[in-house]
Amino acid sequence: MGVVVNLDLADKTAVVTGAGRGIGLATVRTLVDEGVRVVGAARTITPELKETGAYAVSADLSTAEGVSALVDGALAEFGGIDLLVNNVGGGDGATMAFLDVDDTEWAGAFEINLLSTVRATRAALPSLIERRGSIVNVSSILARTPGGFPPAISSAKAALTALGKSLAEEFGPRGVRVNTISPGLVRTSVYLDPNGQVAQWAAAAGVSLNDFVEQMAKSQNVTTGRMTEPEEVAALIAFLLSEQAGNITGADYLIDGGTLKAV
């Protein structure tokens, strides 16, 4: 008989950013299924997010005002925050050549990938400390493998990974665990959107979007031969939020199908 893992997350309150699609949406669904009261934040409230039953908040988390509206709304609606998933990311910062990246793009990449997490965490921490809560930050393997990728995004993700370690050290003694996950290629709408950034890269390379996506997995030498599914990332997030991971903090978990070969 297999071991049954009870995450025991029922009746907790979680805030999940970037919840409208992809990893964020999958995380909302997973936590709702675990009995968590979830506040899902996205710039645009998607029909899929509404259908989860989460308390959806429309907010631009690249701004201080958007973050304040999110956390204040969560505290007003549920009275406190036990769990925080800082998943929002991407945004500006897709230019590949360093000399072509202007200050506006650098600032935009850090606003959405780093400062959104800084602000959300700062606003939620009083409640997280009171409830001895848990934080998971969603970074990327770009933080560890910057070569050949947009420098603004990889730099911002590296800063996010470092932030997680700093937060874990400072607030661990006060009962708050902080961990980071670093996904590789994840099968999200980013790779399916015909008008998205990946489609633009495909067009520049003169190949179809589907062919380009397949080439990406091959070029990154993914050991398992496939992308990670958003639900797999969400399952890891839920585990790290739970007391089953009660002595894990300051860690950075890869979920990349074996893409990163370094020890």
Local structure of 192: helix, strand or coil: coil
Local structure of 20: helix, strand or coil: coil
Instruction: Name the residue ranges covered by the structural domains of the chain.
Output: 13-186+228-255, 189-227
d(CA 145, CA 167): 23
d(CA 80, CA 192): 37
- Each residue's pLDDT, cut to its tens digit, for the chain (263 residues) gives 454 467 999 999 999 999 999 999 999 999 999 999 999 999 999 999 999 999 999 999 989 999 999 999 999 999 999 999 999 998 766 899 999 999 999 999 999 999 999 999 999 999 999 999 999 999 999 999 888 789 999 999 999 999 999 999 999 999 999 999 999 999 898 888 999 888 998 999 999 998 898 888 888 899 998 899 999 999 999 999 999 999 999 999 999 999 999 88
CA 128 to chain centroid, in Å, comes to 18
CA 13 to chain centroid, in Å, comes to 18
What letter does residue 35 receive in the DSSP assignment? T
83-86, strands of its sheet edge to edge: 55-58, 37-42, 13-17, 83-86, 134-138, 177-183, 252-255
Domain 13-186+228-255: which CATH number of 3.40.50.720, 3.30.1330.200, 3.30.1330.10, 3.40.1080.10: 3.40.50.720
Residue 212: how many other CB atoms lie within 10 Å = 19
